[in-house]
Amino acid sequence: MPDHAELEFFDTISGRLEIELDVPAEPVADLLNLQASPDARVVKMSLVAEIFDEVAGEFRSITEEELNRVAFRGANLKLSGESEVTVSHAAPNGEYFTVRELLRVIEETEQQTRYQSEWLGGVDVHHCFFEGICNEEGDVRSIYWGS
Q: Tell me how far apart the alpha carbons of residues 95 and 12 are, in angstroms, rounded to a whole number.
A: 22
Q: Report pTM.
A: 0.89
List pLDDT tens digits, range 42-79.
999 999 999 999 899 999 999 999 999 999 999 999 99
List pLDDT tens digits, range 109-146.
999 999 898 888 889 998 999 999 988 767 899 999 99
Quick one: which of 133, 117, 122 has its CA closest to 49?
A: 133
Q: In degrees, to the nearest 5, what angle opens at C-alpha 73 toward C-alphas 70 and 74?
A: 140
Domain-wise residue ranges, the chain: 7-146
End-to-end CA distance of the chain: 29
Residue 120, class by beta-carbon neighbours within 10 Å (0-12 exposed, 13-18 middle, 19+ buried)?
Answer: middle
